[in-house]
Structure 1
Amino acid sequence: MELRKEMAASVLKTPSLSARTKLLCQTGLSLYNTSHGFHEEEVKKKLVQFTGGSVDLQKNDNGIGILTLNNPSKMNAFSGVMMLQLLEKVIELEQWTEGKGLIVHGANNTFSSGSDLNAVKSLGTPEDGVALCMFMQNTLTRFMRLPLISVALVQGRAMGGGAEFTTACDFRLMTPESEIRFVHKEMGIIPSWGGTTRLVEIIGSRQALKVLTGALKLDPEKALTIGMVEEILQSKDATQSLEEAQAWLQQFIRGPPEVIRTLKSSVSSVKELCLEEALEKERDLLETVWGGPANLAAIAKREKFNK
């Protein structure tokens, strides 16, 4: 933990572009630390008081993980304990070297209604709000940096923080009659888990303003039209739609894990780095697979057919 804090602090002090690039976009490195006034352990002590629900992870032999938001009595709203468990699962996924893809969904055919209001009410000061903001931005940034191709399967409603979570995934799929709603304005706040930043990147600033103000409702058809989601699945059934999502994800993860993971890492780095830094990152990632088993096997196969 202390090593990561030192790495993060050194980013802004590093004159060498190459060295700075290597520090940025690293799996497991958070955005905020004590130099930003963020004290993670203090936030954790507060969050652990708000119990209920769980975040469950299933890692399958085919390289696809299933992350389930499980608090059905509250439409899978995030309790404080669930926020802590989400970070734990992200850390576990950072170590899953055989993984290639990840599907995020909610239990009982609903994605997530956002934050549990019990926690929101108790963390009522601006200082508490900012601390929670930094905690969840840290967690979802680490989630985005996972070398796994991720898909949010939106069944039922994805509201508030649940809607924000969908933007942290590489792709989004919706089932018939589902919806994505950024209800923050109605709560007198704005998205604080990184949702605004990511939403603008996904659909552009003009469409993002329409969505965030509530002027544009994201039912499946509209979400598909503006590029918020990739596809509307056929089934409303929870089990069948999860099977559909896994079949849809398969097209992206064919191939050796080390190649798929490196591709995802390369694409992720572009989001955070300037052009020159992104090119250096691409070069450094290439070095990890060039001349590797998958590369050599592909060359040998090509040579066989070229003879």
Structure 2
Amino acid sequence: KELRQKMASLLTTSPVPIRTKFLHQIGLSLYNTSHGFHEEEVKKKLQQFPGGSVDLQKEENGLGILTLNNPSKMNAFSGVMMLQLLEKVIELENWTEGKGVIVCGAKNTFSSGSDLNAVKALGTPEDGMAVCMFMQNTLTRFMRLPLISVALVQGRALGGGAEFTTACDFRLMTTESEIRFVHREMGIIPSWGGAARLVEIIGSRQALKVLSGALRLDSEKALHIGIADEVLQSSDETECLREAREWLQQFIKGPPEVIRALKKSISSGRELCLEEALQMERDLLGTVWGGPANLEAVARRGKFKK
């Protein structure tokens, strides 16, 4: 108990930089008015483009299923869906019992990116920058969730849909599925953070091949270069989800506080400098050392040795 109190006290004495950056990991935005980003104005514009939905199912075992649901347009993101995605991310940020989340698309395909109706209507550079900042905020918050995330790619993940997959910790594909960054063909570049995340996943040389269009990622190629973690056996929508659940279970066994601390430590290791990441690791240890799961494991190991 005394050790836990000492470790907990460290949480209140961390240097300002580490505490400030940690706050960004649990729900604050990348951009604000100082960057020329006016979130409420962007939300009003996005609200003008309805269609589809983003649905979240939270299960008692700590697993969430986030479904992109706009099948008549290959699950393209309407403006309203972009708003709903932020709402679901905030809901997941506050789900203290959550351990993992699977992102999938309705009707056996992932997502074709942005709804072209919204793209055409928001045609000025200013509008493009505003939506860019909004979606970068949302997907960065998703990436920093203390949940282990998997993109279940059935059918196609195109454009913004491909970018969303890079915000997940893992990507599972079916034999017929493909991931394509079609931005160059549209005369633009990735703007939801997909380029930066892709470089982290597969390196700059491979990312350049993918983003320039020279390398199309069917499941075999995606697995070979490391963007896909596994190719599932089935292509049936229901069976794929079952396989994805089973695959994710190996990473989320155990109590939520341990899984969530583990994911936070990985996020800090990725985004902070070494000294700050080590401090974060220390602070996170203080939340689980001497806790129920730790004490139970120590007692169990002690019995094995007798």
One fold, TM greater than 0.5?
Answer: yes
The Cα RMSD (Å) is 1.0
Kindly, what percent of the aligned residue pairs are identical? 80
Does structure 1 residue 104 correspond to structure 2 residue 128? no
Residue aligned with 2:234, SS: coil
Q: How far is 1:269 from its partner?
A: 1.1
User: Are the aligned partners of 1:76 and 1:106 in contact in 2 as well (CA < 8 Å)?
Assistant: yes
Q: Is the 8 A contact 1:103 1:152 kept in 2?
A: yes
CA contact (8 A) 1:175 1:232 kept: yes
- Change in Cα spacing, 1:37 to 1:17, as seen in structure 2 (3 Å) is farther
Which residue of structure 1 lines up, in the alignment, with residue 176 of structure 2?
Answer: 177
Residue 230 of structure 2: aligned partner: 231
C-alpha distance in structure 2 between counterparts of 1:305 and 1:226, whole Å: 42
Identify the residue that residue 51 of structure 2 maps to in structure 1: 52
Instruction: Give the letter aligned to residue 267 of structure 1.
Output: I
TM-aligned CA deviation for residue 17 of structure 1:
7.6
1:305 aligns with 2:270: no
Q: Deviations over 1:97-119 (max 9, x none)?
A: 11111000000000000000111
Once the two structures are superposed, residues 6-60 of structure 1 have per-residue CA deviations (whole angstroms, 9 ceiling, x without a partner) of xxxxxxxxxx982211121431111111111111000000000000000000001
* Distance of aligned partners of 1:17 and 1:192 in 2 relative to their CA distance in 1, 3 Å threshold: farther
Secondary structure class of the residue paired with 1:177: coil
In the alignment, is residue 18 of structure 1 matched against residue 15 of structure 2? yes
Give 1:235's aligned amino acid: S
Q: Deviations over 1:202-222 (max 9, x none)?
A: 000000000001100100000
Q: CA shift at 1:300, angstroms?
A: 1.2
- The one-character-per-residue Cα deviations of 1:136-155 (angstroms, maximum 9, x if unpaired) are 00000100111100000000
* 1:262/1:285 contact within 8 Å kept: yes
Q: Which residue of 1 aligns with 2:6?
A: none
Match of 1:38 in 2: 37
- Rounded to whole Å, the distance in 2 between the matches of 1:106 and 1:174 is 12
Say if 1:17 and 1:277, in contact at 8 Å, map to a contact too: no
**Separation of aligned partners in 2, 1:120 and 1:102:** 28
**How many Å separate the matches in 1 of 2:225 and 2:175?**
17
Residue 301 of structure 1 deviates from its aligned partner by 1.1
CA drift of 1:299 comes to 1.0
Counterpart of 1:24 in 2: which secondary structure?
Answer: helix
Cross-structure match for 1:209: 208
Please list, as runs of the form range in 1=range in 2, the aligned pairs for 1:144-223 lying within 5 A after superposition: 144-223=143-222
1:5 counterpart residue number = none
Q: Distance in 1 between matches of 2:15 and 2:161?
A: 36
Q: Residues 113-141 of structure 1: CA distance to partner in whole angstroms, max 9, x if unpaired?
A: 00001111111111111111100000001
Q: Does 2:105 align with 1:73?
A: no
- Residue in 2 aligned with 1:280? 279
Structure 2 length as normaliser, TM-score?
0.94
Which whole-Å CA distance do the structure 2 matches of 1:17 and 1:305 have between them?
38
**Aligned equivalents of 1:206, 1:174: Cα separation in 2:** 22
Q: Write the letter of the residue equivalent to 1:219.
A: D
Report the Cα distance in structure 2 between the residues aligned to 1:76 and 1:53, rounded to whole angstroms.
8
Instruction: Map 1:86-165 to 2 at 5 A.
Output: 86-165=85-164
Three-state SS of the structure 1 residue aligned to 2:297 is: helix
Structure 1 segments, 4+ long, off by >3 Å, are: none
Q: 1:306 offset after TM fit, Å?
A: 2.1
Residues paired across the two proteins, number: 292
SS at 1:153 equivalent: strand
Contact kept? 1:18, 1:280, Cα under 8 Å = no
Letter of the 1:249 counterpart: L
User: Which digits, 9 at most, give the CA deviation of each residue in 1:166-187, with x for residues without a partner?
Assistant: 0000000001110000000000
Q: Distance in 2 between matches of 1:239 and 1:104?
A: 14
Three-state SS of the structure 2 residue aligned to 1:169 is coil
